Amino acid sequence: MSVPDAERFLRQLKTKPAAFAAAAAVLVLDQLTKLAMRHILLDGVPRDILGSVVRVTLRYNTGAAFSLGWGGPVILSVFTVLASVFLVRYMLKIEGRKKVLWLGVVLGGAVGNLTDRLIMGKVTDFIDIGSTGWRWPTFNVADIAICIGGIAVFFLFKGSKRLEVPTKENQT
């Protein structure tokens, strides 16, 4: 291992634990909030938080994010496992603390919803936003992490020349 390779490896060691800690934090927060809502709320009965604009309503989703139908729990679970493996592999290969950290947030959200699908066959959603006559599809902490993390990753990579995984050939 050359000196530049060793320096890169040491930088990665410092960055990676924070990203996996972010993924774990999102996963734990997501699962704890879902557990709490399943114990506190009755299915489909809203509770106002900020009037009727922000409320919590327990719903179960067998589709993709925001209750979009897409292939059912088995296909979504397989897709999520493949996406999570890709995220972990990519996180281990790229540099840039912010990029890796936000990918960890996305990973935590993906694993949070995957956990629900594997254990219950459906995802627990409870955050309900809207106004009279219009409501956004109900969502959860994992969905927030996936969306905000995905937007952050998009803008962080937007300035990059290419979205490529570093290899020995393209590192010079």
Domains in the chain: boundaries? 8-158
pTM above 0.85, yes or no: no
**Closest to 54 in 3D by CA, of 126, 142, 144, 145:** 126
**Mean pLDDT over residues 91-120, rounded?**
93
**Closest to 61 in 3D by CA, of 53, 69, 52:** 69
Comparison of pLDDT for 117 and 95, the residue scoring more: 117
**Closest to 53 in 3D by CA, of 124, 144, 133:** 133
pLDDT tens for 150-165 read 999 999 988 765 545 5
Q: Is 125 marked active-site?
A: yes
Alpha carbon of 23 to those of 9, 19, 43, 73, 143: distances in Å? Answer: 21, 6, 28, 22, 13
**Mean pLDDT over residues 103-130, rounded?**
95
Q: Quick one: pLDDT band at residue 77, thresholds 50, 70, 90?
A: confident
Provide the pLDDT for residue 22: 95
Catalytic pick from 30, 116, 125, 128?
Answer: 125
Provide the pLDDT for residue 10: 65
Q: Quick one: pLDDT band at residue 21, thresholds 50, 70, 90?
A: very high
pLDDT tens for 38-75 read 999 999 999 999 999 999 999 998 876 555 556 667 78
Distance between CA atoms of residues 23 and 75, nearest Å: 23
Q: Is 48 marked active-site?
A: no
Catalytic pick from 30, 116, 128, 143?
Answer: 143
**Mean pLDDT over residues 73-86, rounded?**
88
Lowest mean pLDDT among 49-53, 104-108, 132-136: 132-136
Helix (H) or strand (E) holding 57: strand 54-61
